[in-house]
Structure 1
Amino acid sequence: MKTHIIPAIRLTLVLLVILSVIYPLVVAGVGRLAPGGGKGETVTVNGKVVGYTLVGQKFTEDRYFNSRPSAVEYNAAGSAGSNKGPSNPDYLKTVQVRIDTFLVHNPGIRKEDIPTELVTASGSGLDPDLSPVAAKIQVARIAKTRGISADRLTKLVDAQTTGPLIGLLGPSTVNVLKLNVALDALK
């Protein structure tokens, strides 16, 4: 029995030190090398922090590109999806309300042309990005509201589009916060 307990206690102590001390320090050290020093990358306008690039923000005014809906009202402390399946009547009702609202604010767009991400929340409820298609479908509304040409807004979306990681991994995305900050900076 002693031959099994002593090695088990030693292994437990070694793993306790590795997993409770060394590993967290290594992860924190690597985090310091990331943009924002591990505290998240902020977006600053006129010396004031207006948001974080990795957390979705709520933009609902017609003069801005709308964000992806959030199941947690953009509360980063409560990151979660709705946990409702695609056949849940409450979920379907919520999505239909989002579709109807989008169509009211974007006349001329057909229901079947609305990208899914504009009417459904992401798994975290905090997705900060849209696809270029979801951003561009909003261009006509913003052009009309702001009096800016649709071509200029489309070029702005293209300039704010980030391609896949190393050209292969993941889709092209547009960070909504950065896009709206760039939109406000247009003269």
Structure 2
Amino acid sequence: MLWVNLRRGLIVSAIFFVLLGLAYPLATTGIGQALFHDQANGSLGKNGSTLVGQQWKGAQWFQGRPDGGDPTATGGSNLGPRSKELLDTYKKRAAALERQGIKPTPDLVAASGSGIDPDISPAAAYAQVDTVAAARHVPDDRVHALVAAHVHGPQWGFLGAPHVNVLELNEALTGLQ
């Protein structure tokens, strides 16, 4: 009786190993590669993933959210809306933007909840047009048109808000000379 139960247990274990350890992962990977190839491979561009926010140094680049620059350190600051430390941080960030000639917008001052948000609002992108155009010695209207071409609407037309992926915008900016 012991050997019968042991044999049944081993057979069931082998079946579940094949189904859940081999067939299911291979099927989901195949479906992901076939239907969502770009996303399944990290949505990589020339300078990194379009799914992860990056830091850009210099007035010649569009700036993303102030998320710290470490893509492995996800998460918010956990500071509440009445936090003096959070308010002071926002004031410093807004002052730094104004010194660069950029009108502060909420997503250029406040970090994202994830700490790695790659997108900004169209308003935040348009607020940086004059600064980027001056730093690159390019007419404002060309940079403005570039931003307009990179505004993504809500997903499926109704989920979320319009946004601009900063990595995609900066990669397109390199070809604007």
1:75 CA displacement: 2.1
Does the 8 A contact of 1:60 with 1:67 survive in 2? no
In the alignment, is residue 125 of structure 1 matched against residue 95 of structure 2?
no
Whether 2:73 is the aligned partner of 1:82: answer no
**Which residue of structure 2 lines up, in the alignment, with residue 136 of structure 1?**
126
The match for 1:53 is 50
TM-score (structure 1 length as normaliser): 0.77
User: 2:8 aligns to what?
Assistant: none
The 1:80–1:27 alpha-carbon spacing in structure 2 relative to 1, beyond 3 Å, is: farther
Residues of 1 paired with 2:38 and 2:156: CA distance? 21
Please report the RMSD computed on the Cα atoms of aligned residues, expressed in angstroms: 2.4
TM-score (norm 2): 0.81
Q: What is the match of residue 103 of structure 1?
A: 98
The residue number in structure 1 matching 2:88 is: 93
Separation (CA, whole Å) in 2 of partners of 1:184 and 1:90: 37
State the Cα distance separating 1:25 from its structure 2 match: 5.0
Instruction: Give the AA of the match of 1:162.
Output: H
Match of 1:4 in 2: none
Instruction: Could you tell me which runs of 5 or more consecutive residues in structure 1 were left unpaired when the two chains were aligned.
Output: 1-12, 45-49
69 and 23 in structure 1: CA distance in 2 versus 1, 3 angstrom threshold:
farther
Q: Aligned pair in 2 of structure 1 residues 23, 170: CA closer, same or farther (>3 Å)?
A: farther
Question: Which residue matches 2:138?
Answer: 148
Q: Matched residues, percent identical? A: 39
Shift of 1:160: 1.0
CA distance in structure 2 between the aligned counterparts of 1:96 and 1:20, rounded to whole angstroms:
52
Whether 1:68 and 2:65 are equivalent positions in the alignment is yes
